[in-house]
Amino acid sequence: MIRLLFSVICICLSIHISYGIDIDSLEQKLNSTKNRKRKVEILNRYNASYTKGDKHHTINRFRSALDIARDIKYRDGIATAHSNLANFYFQNKSVDSAIFHYNKALQIYREETNDKKTGETLFNIGFVYYASSNYFDAFEYTESALDIFSINGDMENMAASHTLLCDILYGSGFDADAIDHCLMALNLYTNLKSVNDQSNLYNSIGRIYLDLEQFDESYRHFNQAYYLAEVENDPSILSESLRYLGQYYYGIKDFEEALENYDKALTYVNQDPDIEKLGYLFLDKGMANTGLGQYDSAVVNLKEALFYADSSYNLELRAKVYSELGSLYSAIEKYDIAVVFLKQSLFVAQKINADPILEQCYKNLANFYDQQNDTENALRYFKLYTSHKDTLFSNQSAIQIAEAEAIYDLEQKNKQIEMLMNENRIREMEAGKKNMINIWLISVLIFVFILTILLYRQYRVQNKVNKALNDQKNAINQQKIEIEIQKESIEKANTILAEKNKQITDSLEYAKRIQLSLLPDSNLLQSKFNDTFLWYQPRDIVGGDFYWYAEFKNTICLVVLDCSGHGVPGAFMTVLANTLLNRHVFDLKSEDSPSKVLGFLDDNVKKELNQQGIQLSAFEGIDLAACMIDRKSRNLKFSGAKMPLYHYSDGKLNHIKGNRFSVGGGNSTVKNFSEISIDLKRDDVIYLATDGFQDQFGGEKGKKYMKLHFKSLLQSIAELPLADQGEKLKSVFHQWKNFNLQTDDILIIGIKV
């Protein structure tokens, strides 16, 4: 039925319930405000409890809104509360109460000359009458709503009204008029570019043609609906279009093709299950099974449809399924079961006052009793059938009369408007003739007066302009002189700055050569171990990262340091640390203790920088990792200051953390640097690295590389030759950094034992 189109129509009109509002938020606002008008507005938006099934709580909120609004004479609040109550009663199947409250709201909107709300409320009343099968009143109210929407140029609600009128006229048996309104709605939705609504209307028109047995037109419209649904890829409309195509094939007796389309429709419905749609689809499948003589399958599908009808409380669907089951059992001569289902269908149809179903029920029961040679009951139901058809005909006649009267009233109004317009034209022409001469004389006088004033003003303006031009010319010449002077000053300043910049850059380049000369030769490490790589890349010309190397007896001491700061401050710190290591560290070589190297540096850095006892930040601190490797015993001793050691052995990368504090810095706490001893195996790899790589910003989101990714990277390349590892690290770094600036100095050393 086209009625399916209106499951969402009221949403675009005056439904004031705002589903999804947070109940706790509303309660808080309600309790916190003392403004009674504001309370009414909050109560009118109160629906959260209703969505949770608490109907009593919701209706009390709306009634409270109505009472307060009446008390403070807040008319818009009163109308909104009535509309909310009407919506509530309609959704709970209380039609009379819904109509009562809609009419109360309508009266206020008319008195306030609120055309938009008046039209929306008229539409809603028409929809309620339509839903209760009162087609005459539904037609009257919906047409009145359409008049208002048309005057205001409200295309969306005009389209909705035409669609509802199509449904009303279709239900009343006026198929041709129904198609006219559907086509008008289709044209409006095409202009609004609402593809889903267009698809629904093509299905509606196709359904009317199907009932008229104009199968070619029916198929054409169903096929267009399916095409639009495919364009939008909307499973809901695709399932509807396939169902209607199935009904087309059912109408031309191609029951197998009908079943195939019903099954396709089911695949789309199951993507987003809709109980009512499933019920109607299984009803259609059962009817197609009956057409093929597949009675067992028909019974299974019809009972499935009955299950969904009961689950969704859809009495119309239940009545149709009962009717079809009755006809099916009658066809297979199970008359006792058949009569039970036929009477159940009649009972439900009477309960919901579904005229088309009632007519079919009376007809089915008359045929059934006629087959049973029960003349009395056959005659009784036949009389009810004919009486019901007469009633429907009367309703149709009433709608036709109402439509004719509406057309007549519209024509009369158009004639009156045309007469008034003609009279106005005549009056305007007469008045125009009388005033023409006066206007001409006055215009000439005004023109002469204005021309005189303009000429005088032009003379004065020209004098002022000439004076202003001379003043501007003098000012411009003065500015040119000042600009030339400023230009010369700026050029001199730029020359001085360029010279200063070159001197500073040359000094830094020289400082870089000095700093590089302090670093041990990288080939020295290569000569002492099986394989090594070293990657040193300062962020600026000079940097704060460096490494230190010493050898005594069979022990190699290797230290990697990350001095605080970048550029010149960091470089000064590297010189200080290198000097301290060269001056004093050999005093400790006999003890073979990297932790004492760290302790020694901690004490002396503080002394050198005058930090002892002064509460400063750790700006002048040094992060470092110190290793002592006995090449004979392959024993490694490690101590770190906020810098780890990475040890790769037997296919696993071990992350050995350093101590939690730096060397130096303003922290006056006594530091006890711990150390760890590791027995190395042949081909084990150790890595020492500052935090420059892992702190680099980059990637798609501009985030740091992070320690965890750096550790995973080392694990993934550990089996490669060390020279290749160094190249791989550089490649990954530059790919990660992309166009970002380098964040920190980078120093990474890899040694294979």
Express each pLDDT in 223-254 by its tens digit. 888 888 888 888 888 888 888 998 899 989 99
Confidence class for position 154, pLDDT limits 50, 70, 90: very high
Provide the pLDDT for residue 6: 42
Relative to beta strand 531-537, strand 622-630 is: unpaired
Give the span between the Cα atoms of 605 and 575, in whole angstroms: 11
In whole angstroms, how far apart are CA 466 and each of 453, 454, 477?
20, 18, 17
Provide the pLDDT for residue 326: 84
Identity at 116, one-letter amino acid code = K
The mean per-residue pLDDT over the stretch 201-214 comes to 88
The mean per-residue pLDDT over the stretch 186-200 comes to 88
Q: What phi-psi label fits residue 670: left (phi over 0), alpha (psi between -120 and 50 degrees) or beta?
A: beta
Express each pLDDT in 174-184 by its tens digit. 888 898 999 99
Confidence class for position 433, pLDDT limits 50, 70, 90: low
The lowest-confidence range among 95-104, 435-444, 485-494 is 435-444
Provide the pLDDT for residue 611: 58
Provide the pLDDT for residue 418: 58
Confidence class for position 268, pLDDT limits 50, 70, 90: confident
Confidence class for position 410, pLDDT limits 50, 70, 90: very low
Under DSSP, the state recorded for 681 is P
The mean per-residue pLDDT over the stretch 119-132 comes to 92
Are 682 and 742 in contact by the 8 Å Cβ rule? The answer is no
Burial of residue 254 (CB within 10 Å: 0-12, 13-18, 19+) is: middle
| Residue 413 phi, psi (nearest 5) | -65, -40
Res 617 pLDDT > 90: no
Identify which of 741, 739, 713 has the alpha carbon closest to the alpha carbon of residue 727. 713
Please report, in angstroms and rounded to a whole number, the separation of the first and last CA atoms in the chain: 84
In whole angstroms, how far apart are CA 254 and each of 238, 249, 250, 401?
21, 5, 6, 40
Express each pLDDT in 468-483 by its tens digit. 888 888 888 888 888 8
Provide the pLDDT for residue 9: 43
Higher pLDDT, 331 or 98: 98
Give the span between the Cα atoms of 69 and 434, in whole angstroms: 57
Give the span between the Cα atoms of 506 and 669, in whole angstroms: 41
For all residues of the chain together, what is the average pLDDT? 83
Provide the pLDDT for residue 629: 93
The mean per-residue pLDDT over the stretch 212-222 comes to 89
Q: What phi-psi label fits residue 699: left (phi over 0), alpha (psi between -120 and 50 degrees) or beta?
A: left
Res 437 pLDDT > 90: no
Give the span between the Cα atoms of 41 and 31, in whole angstroms: 13
Q: Which of 285-299, 314-328, 492-506, 644-658 has the highest mean pLDDT?
A: 644-658
In whole angstroms, how far apart are CA 258 and each of 253, 327, 422, 487, 749?
9, 20, 61, 89, 75
Provide the pLDDT for residue 407: 46
Quote the percentage of the chain above a pLDDT of 90. Answer: 32
Provide the pLDDT for residue 405: 44
Matching residue, tokens 């499948």: 285
Sorted by sequence, the CB contacts under 8 Å of residue 664 that are 6+ apart come out as: 601, 602, 605, 606, 609, 611, 618, 620, 621, 622
Q: Which of 6-20, 33-47, 259-273, 367-381 has the highest mean pLDDT?
A: 259-273
The mean per-residue pLDDT over the stretch 322-329 comes to 86
Provide the pLDDT for residue 461: 85
Give the span between the Cα atoms of 518 and 521, in whole angstroms: 9
- Give the tokens for residue 58: 């919701």
Provide the pLDDT for residue 51: 40
- Give the tokens for residue 197: 């609504």
The lowest-confidence range among 152-161, 349-358, 595-604 is 349-358
Res 516 pLDDT > 50: yes
Matching residue, tokens 């009663």: 89
The mean per-residue pLDDT over the stretch 141-154 comes to 93
Higher pLDDT, 658 or 327: 658
Res 398 pLDDT > 50: no
Provide the pLDDT for residue 390: 55
Give the span between the Cα atoms of 258 and 255, in whole angstroms: 5
Provide the pLDDT for residue 692: 94
Q: Which of 59-63, 206-210, 534-538, 663-667 has the highest mean pLDDT?
A: 534-538
Provide the pLDDT for residue 20: 44
Identify which of 679, 685, 674, 624 has the alpha carbon closest to the alpha carbon of residue 651. 685
User: How would you label 643-681 residue by residue, b for 16+ Cβ within 10 Å and e otherwise?
Assistant: bbbbbbbeeebeeeebbebbbbbbbeeebebebbebebe
Provide the pLDDT for residue 239: 87
Give the span between the Cα atoms of 3 and 127, in whole angstroms: 10
pTM metric for this prediction: 0.48
The lowest-confidence range among 488-502, 624-638, 649-663, 700-714 is 488-502
Provide the pLDDT for residue 48: 38
The mean per-residue pLDDT over the stretch 544-559 comes to 89
Res 57 pLDDT > 80: no
Res 16 pLDDT > 70: no
The lowest-confidence range among 563-567, 654-658, 700-704 is 563-567
Res 323 pLDDT > 90: no
The mean per-residue pLDDT over the stretch 565-593 comes to 78
The mean per-residue pLDDT over the stretch 595-601 comes to 89
The mean per-residue pLDDT over the stretch 488-497 comes to 87
Sorted by sequence, the CB contacts under 8 Å of residue 452 that are 6+ apart come out as: none
Give the span between the Cα atoms of 177 and 163, in whole angstroms: 12
Give the span between the Cα atoms of 198 and 224, in whole angstroms: 9
Task: Return the axis-axis angle of helices 355-371 and 375-518, rounded to nearest 10°.
Answer: 130
Provide the pLDDT for residue 402: 46
- Give the tokens for residue 190: 């095409």
The lowest-confidence range among 98-102, 204-208, 362-366, 683-687 is 362-366
The mean per-residue pLDDT over the stretch 69-93 comes to 89
Res 13 pLDDT > 80: no
Higher pLDDT, 513 or 587: 513
